Every structure is written in C-alpha cells, then in structure tokens.
Amino acid sequence: MGVGVNVRHQIAKRAAKEIEDGMVVNLGIGMPTLVADYIPENVNVMFHAENGVLGTGPTPAKGEEDENLCNAGGLPMTIVPGGSYFDSTYAFSIIRRGLLDVTILGAFQISQYGDLANWIVPKKIVSGMGGAIELAQKAKKVIVLMNHVDKKGNPKIVTECTLPLTAKHCVDLIITDLAVIKVTVKGLQLIEVMDGYTVDEVVKVTGAPLFVAKEKKGEC
C-alpha cells in the first residue's frame, strides 16, 4: 500500500478541494507541495512558504525553472501576480499571529485525538522539527496528507502516537491513499473512501476506532 506517483497526485488533488477562494495557505515539504497544481484558475489563493514567500504558484514546467525561486523544501516554484518576498522572520510572524487559514503537512503518525508526530525520522539523525510545531499549533485548520500505513504495513493512524509529538490535538482532517478522515470531539469520523476500497478495508488498516456517518457509508 505504498504511495506511488499517481496516488500522491490523487491525494493532493483531493486536498485542493479544501482550499477556498481568498485563503492564505501553507504547504509543507513533500506531497503537500503538489496541492498548488490542483487549484482551479477561478480560486485565488496565497500560498505561504516559511523561507519567505507569500504567493507561490504551481510547479514550473520542465525547463522553465528559475534558480532563484524555491519553496521551503528547496524545490522550484513559481510566483502568482501579487506575490511577495520577505525574510523568514516575517514568514514566521504570519504563522505565529494565526494568519494562516490552512496548513497542509505530512505525518509519520496521527492519534485518534488529532495529535501529530511528523518531525523525527525513526533511526535517522534530523536537524529538528523546523516550522511544523508552529504551523500545527497556529493555523486555523490543519490538514495532513500521508499514506495510510507505513512501509511495513503498520497503521499510521493510531490510538496513541509512539513517536515524539510535534503538537497535540491539532489535526482537523486526514487525507490518505485510502480515505478521508475528520478528527472530531467524538473521535475519528470516516467521511470518504477512495475509489477501489471499501469501508471494511479502511477500518482493517486503521489503528484507532473509526465511526462512519450514516450518509457516508460505502464507497465515495
């Protein structure tokens, strides 16, 4: 159940539906950066990057990259009309003031309470959690994109995280290769099942209880 190239784009395309006109949105490193490629032309969004940009656009076409323009992950990007540049101090001021409508991040684990663990790579040396801790705590809505299970087939959605936490009770929506799950005060609510899968299959590989709204049962 690994996430291939096409599936990554499928997840990003679904995430783009959560973005509304006029929003200020931060896209995390990796799969979240693909979301910008699926925003409709009639939806005006200002994408924010921690390295000091507000107004990033879609991924540039091959051969049209500008070596002076990159996102927080160091990948080539474009700028939309009205975009602006500033230093990372201002970029983090936008985050800390709670001015982001949405942040879209990756994760290693998410608990049934919406706790997020996404900064430490097991058995690897990492430089730190970067801006994730502030993004997770300060954005008005936190969406996580990830594969439903890890490389060994273990659930990444669990009753309690075993990896160091980035932030507690912060995740609002989880979009995986199998399903869309909403974090609520009652627990994890299965609201969509991706094409090719069933509710039972999703429940089987989820390491935390799920409840399904009556109107959402079955495939979506």
The neighbouring-strand residues paired with 109 are 117
Phi and psi at residue 99, to the nearest 5°: -90, -5
220: confidence class by pLDDT, cuts 50, 70, 90: very low
Verify whether residue 201 is a known catalytic residue. Answer: no
Q: What are the pLDDT digits (tens) for 114-165?
A: 999 998 876 776 666 778 999 999 999 999 999 999 999 999 999 999 999 9
Contact criterion met (CB below 8 Å) for 3 and 177: yes
Q: So what's the pLDDT on residue 5? A: 61
The Cα–Cα gap between 120 and 118 comes to 6
4: confidence class by pLDDT, cuts 50, 70, 90: low
> Is residue 42 classed as helix, strand or coil in its secondary structure?
coil
- Residue of 18, 50, 160, 192 marked active site: 50
Q: So what's the pLDDT on residue 158? A: 98
Residue bearing tokens 């609520």: 184
The Cα–Cα gap between 41 and 39 comes to 6
The Cα–Cα gap between 77 and 47 comes to 11
Q: So what's the pLDDT on residue 7? A: 93
Domains observed in the chain: 5-216 (3.40.1080.10)
The Cα–Cα gap between 187 and 190 comes to 10
